Structure 1
Amino acid sequence: MPSTTSTAPGAPRAGTSTTPHPRRWLALAVIAISQLMVVLDATIVNIALPQAQADLGISNADRQWVVTAYTLTFGGLLLLGGRIADYWGRKRTFLVGMVGFALASAIGGLATTGGLLFAARALQGAFGALLAPASLALLTVLFTEATERAKAFAVYGAIAGGGSAVGLVLGGVLTEYADWRWCLLVNIPIAAVALFAAIPLVPESRAHGDTRYDVPGAVVVTAGLVSLVYGFTKAAEDGWDATATIAFIAAGVLLLAAFVVIELRSSHPLLPLRILLDRNRGGAYLASTLVGAGLFGAFLFLTFYFQQALQYTPLEAGLASLPVTAGVLVSAGVASQLLPRVGAKPLMVAGAVLAAAGMLTLTQIDLDTSFVSHLLPAQVVLGLGLGFTFVPLSSLALVGVPEHDAGAASATLNATQQIGGSLGTALLNTFFTSSVAAYLATRIPDPASQAQAAIHGYTVAFAWGAGLILLAGLATLLLIKVRKEDLATGGAVHMG
């Protein structure tokens, strides 16, 4: 799926050598391969999920864990991963992240139960939280000249944008002509190539100074988010008023409140709260969370709709999902040109309205909906809206941020999108399951009714997704006050 591209959580510190590394372009190729692997994993698994669910006997209530187990650990540990890369060594962290990601992919590809697949996805997220910030930090160290750095980040950003499209097609090919398991196992040869190339080509670097980590903060925030998502899952199974549902949601809220207390008292907080308290950045993070919540869940149900309702093959489903990515790439280019002229707020509000309109169009689906006349334009409009949203978000996250907070500010933006996606996927899956059950409760449960019940569930999920994206637009309208002049001269360098 599309994602924002941001600066490294570990930008080079004062005293870092500015002499260009002689093999920096070869190192860029290695880092690009690792980025492609991480980006592929977001979309390639979506296409495989219907077959994985059937093969492993995963329930409708639990299937969202294939997505959320990854995004929760990735988003929850991303800031800690950036700190580890800075102080433990960026190359060392990169290599460990690569090996761990490949091993977790092997476990997932060979999983015999849903629980083992969920655990493997969580491990992938944890190692991805090491790999992603280490990759970005290495780029900032390798490319010290402004023009070269811009080119390097353009390559990185192109992979971040285009890799999701590659994942959709590759996921379809592997699932249809090999097995869904290869959507995970394919990471092993990719990681092996990158690993053996990285050892001689990528230089080691690390930050100096105090190297303490906020491990309690990372553990508590991740546990809180997992508890919330599990509470949403229990709501799908037992109802919102069930004791277990209330207990897990309450525990999640309490743990997140404890995380705030830990950050306020920590001398080296995982997330300096001063970053959140700025009105514009706070608004950007809230909008990012809400857009992620609406978007991740929508992609999950679009995949199931294509393959289960319209009977598309996995490859056809992957190709049918490409219009969203195409829309994002087109509007992101336009938004980059318009941002200095009109500012962030108009683009983000327009983007939210467009994306929500595309999502609302998807609520009009049925068992025989035309792809060309309905699904194609709906996805293009959704993608156009997302592109107009993502580009300003990346800039807003860094407006007026002191240099020493730039990495944390941009990593927080990525984390909010992943966390929003986790919560949104779980929430929308709960609404889907509940609405299907309610639909069938008043009808004879024959095959025709069950097919229509699934359609009803998809439309409910898409409607809630549209609502979350509109809420992101409303948050932008009320909270974002930054002027276009501030974006051009913000206090931090934006690379994305």
Structure 2
Amino acid sequence: MATDTTASPSSTSASGPGTGPGTGPASGTTGALRAPAPQHLGIRAKLVLLVLCAAQFMISLDFSILNVSLPVLGSDLGMSRANLQWAVTAFALPSGGFLLLFGRIADLYGRRRLFLTGLAVFAAASLLATLAWNPAAFLAARAVQGLGAAAVVPTGMSLLTTTFPEGPLRERALGISGTLLSLGFTIGMVMGGTLTDAFGWRSTMALLAAAGVLVLAAAPALLTESRHPRRPRIDVPGAVTVTGGLLAVIYALSTAAQRGFGGADVIAALVLGVALLAAFVAVESRAAEPLVSLPMLRRRTVAWGNLAGLATFSMMSTVVFLLTLYLQEIRGLSAFRTGLVFGVQGVAAAVTGMTAARVIGRIGTRGTLLAGLVVQGALTAVLVLLGPGSSGTWLAMAGVTLACVGHLWVIVSYGITATSGLPDHEQGLATGLVTSSQQIGLTVGIPLLSALASSRAHLLSGIHLALAVDAAVLLAVAVMVAVGLGRGRTAGV
């Protein structure tokens, strides 16, 4: 699989002008001789990587850019404080619920095509959110944004992993992508506060619309089409059960963060979600052409890699959310100054992302994955020492910055772990699982632990409890992944 040549006809059909990084041979060509994989990125490959990473950065930005703007947004649109969470949840529901389905559709009918369609939908919805005249229009626009993101994220990742072969090139590409993914979430906090203070909350959505248009303008000339070498049928029962199950579970967790787990709708949604996901497993075990290959899920690299990804994203996004509450509600910092605290974390993410491939080269993918989970967990535990005084601001900045180092190690290494050793025609599904871990993690961690934090009478005590659970989850997952992956280095691990 070469990086600066057109892919073989068996796996792609070029639909963009010129040639670009190919997707490599289909699984049926395993006996063919391959030229040695290049060790350096060519100019065109760098441009492709730039476009794909820019799209991931833009979606990641959307997850956090509104967080510090919610009070201003609610006042402007007339949304009650209890309903402000829906500004985030309306995006998270479709973006997390439709990832697996869209990842599979992209495998079968064209990753480039769905990537471009998702970009167009996201940009248009961002413009609608900018112009929203009431809460209903805004929440509808956020939901459509989520649909666009659900198409862009898995297709962008599968285009990346099928463009760059396993080894140093893919590790470098995933390192850059992981860095920008984390930077997007962090920079979103900084930019959200800055833009809201200067121009109002609508400027945050306008920025996303402009970014979507720019990426959409550059992508067609650089990306070539790739898809499954044949077109099997879509597993409709599997698609319905997994999408419905994810939507129900995400809704239940998001609503529980506002009203607790005792509400009838929360309980009903949880029961429905679990039942649908159980039905999904049963359907997939009998389907002739399943949406998700259960044997692939039994691969230890896929299963344990995705568990690590789910843990690192859910727990890190929760830390950012809890520290936002701490800095604004307890320390009294403005949205702008709160954003600056997280800006230091962004610098750490950039430096760590650039060096993550070297860390993997020294201690291996498995070693980097476990070290990252332990570092993130240990530094999160330190944040339990936060107090009401000014020293707490400095501790929050130092703790979240150093925790981010471990977080970035996990992001890069779990992506490599969960996609290694798989043929190109399964990369869309594998990266769909990877991105599902990301997006579901970003969605479920905050509702669960913020509900835990609100269970205490005093906010600081609740934040301490949630941070302690956050750290415990990370360290427990580190032990589980260490045992699950074993000591071997098979399948790229």
TM-score w.r.t. the length of structure 1 is 0.80
Partner residue in 2 for 1:478 = 483
Partner residue in 2 for 1:321 = 342
Partner residue in 2 for 1:429 = 450
Identity of matched residues, %: 33
Partner residue in 2 for 1:261 = 282
CA contact (8 A) 1:275 1:281 kept: yes
One of 68, 87, 96 as aligned partner of 2:117? 96
Deviation larger for 165-174 or 197-206: 197-206
Distance 1:220 1:54 in 2: 38
CA contact (8 A) 2:244 2:273 kept: yes
Q: What pairs with 1:454-465 in structure 2 (closer than 5 Å)?
A: 454-465=459-470
Deviation at 1:329, TM superposition (A): 3.9
Amino acid at match of 1:274: P
- Indicate the SS of the match to 1:434: coil
Deviation at 1:139, TM superposition (A): 5.3
Structure 1's 240 and 30: CA in aligned 2 closer, same or farther, altered over 3 A? Answer: closer
**Aligned pair 1:179/2:200, yes or no?**
yes
Structure 1's 368 and 109: CA in aligned 2 closer, same or farther, altered over 3 A? Answer: farther
Deviation at 1:197, TM superposition (A): 4.1
Amino acid at match of 1:472: V
**Aligned pair 1:295/2:316, yes or no?**
yes
Deviation larger for 194-203 or 136-145: 136-145
Distance 1:331 1:388 in 2: 8
Amino acid at match of 1:321: F
Deviation larger for 240-249 or 408-417: 240-249
Structure 1's 156 and 241: CA in aligned 2 closer, same or farther, altered over 3 A? Answer: closer
Partner residue in 1 for 2:127 = 106
**Aligned pair 1:221/2:242, yes or no?**
yes
Deviation at 1:100, TM superposition (A): 0.8
Deviation at 1:63, TM superposition (A): 4.2
Deviation larger for 402-411 or 176-185: 402-411
Deviation at 1:297, TM superposition (A): 2.1
Deviation larger for 347-356 or 16-25: 16-25
CA-to-aligned-CA distance 1:395-454 (integer Å, 9 cap, x gap): 22134334432332233122112213322222112213332xxx1xxxxxxxxxxxxx33
One of 78, 81, 87 as aligned partner of 1:66? 87
Structure 1's 233 and 209: CA in aligned 2 closer, same or farther, altered over 3 A? Answer: closer
Distance 1:354 1:384 in 2: 8
Amino acid at match of 2:55: S
Distance 2:126 2:139 in 1: 11
- Indicate the SS of the match to 1:297: helix
**Aligned pair 1:469/2:474, yes or no?**
yes
Distance 2:75 2:477 in 1: 35
Deviation at 1:127, TM superposition (A): 0.9
- Indicate the SS of the match to 2:243: helix
Partner residue in 2 for 1:247 = 268
CA contact (8 A) 1:102 1:191 kept: yes
Amino acid at match of 1:392: S
Structure 1's 120 and 386: CA in aligned 2 closer, same or farther, altered over 3 A? Answer: same
Distance 1:364 1:61 in 2: 29
Distance 1:58 1:471 in 2: 39
Partner residue in 1 for 2:188 = 167
CA contact (8 A) 1:176 1:313 kept: no
**Aligned pair 1:420/2:441, yes or no?**
yes
- Indicate the SS of the match to 1:186: helix
Amino acid at match of 1:320: V
CA contact (8 A) 2:180 2:350 kept: no
Deviation larger for 234-243 or 474-483: 234-243
CA contact (8 A) 1:358 1:379 kept: yes
Structure 1 unaligned residues grouped into runs of 5+: 1-10, 440-452, 491-496
Distance 1:86 1:180 in 2: 37
- Indicate the SS of the match to 1:229: helix
CA contact (8 A) 2:178 2:353 kept: no
How many positions carry a matched residue from both structures? 462
Partner residue in 2 for 1:271 = 292
Partner residue in 2 for 1:38 = 59
Partner residue in 1 for 2:411 = 390
**Aligned pair 1:133/2:154, yes or no?**
yes
CA contact (8 A) 2:126 2:206 kept: yes
**Aligned pair 1:14/2:10, yes or no?**
yes
Amino acid at match of 1:169: V
CA-to-aligned-CA distance 1:307-366 (integer Å, 9 cap, x gap): 333232322222211233333444445543233443344433332232122222222323
Distance 2:453 2:383 in 1: 14
Amino acid at match of 1:381: L
Partner residue in 2 for 1:6 = none
Deviation larger for 114-123 or 425-434: 114-123
Distance 1:346 1:27 in 2: 30
CA contact (8 A) 2:13 2:225 kept: no
Deviation larger for 273-282 or 207-216: 207-216
- Indicate the SS of the match to 2:98: helix
CA contact (8 A) 1:291 1:472 kept: no
Structure 1's 180 and 137: CA in aligned 2 closer, same or farther, altered over 3 A? Answer: same
Deviation at 1:177, TM superposition (A): 0.3
Structure 1's 365 and 215: CA in aligned 2 closer, same or farther, altered over 3 A? Answer: farther
Structure 1's 75 and 420: CA in aligned 2 closer, same or farther, altered over 3 A? Answer: same
Structure 1's 483 and 117: CA in aligned 2 closer, same or farther, altered over 3 A? Answer: farther
Distance 1:197 1:346 in 2: 37
Amino acid at match of 1:104: A
CA-to-aligned-CA distance 1:374-396 (integer Å, 9 cap, x gap): 12221122112212322321222
Structure 1's 61 and 477: CA in aligned 2 closer, same or farther, altered over 3 A? Answer: farther
CA contact (8 A) 1:72 1:226 kept: yes
CA contact (8 A) 1:432 1:460 kept: yes
Distance 1:12 1:76 in 2: 33
One of 118, 122, 141 as aligned partner of 1:120? 141
CA contact (8 A) 2:122 2:149 kept: yes
Deviation at 1:56, TM superposition (A): 4.7
Amino acid at match of 1:263: E
Distance 2:179 2:352 in 1: 14
CA contact (8 A) 1:70 1:125 kept: yes
Structure 1's 350 and 59: CA in aligned 2 closer, same or farther, altered over 3 A? Answer: farther
Structure 1's 482 and 394: CA in aligned 2 closer, same or farther, altered over 3 A? Answer: farther
Deviation at 1:196, TM superposition (A): 3.8
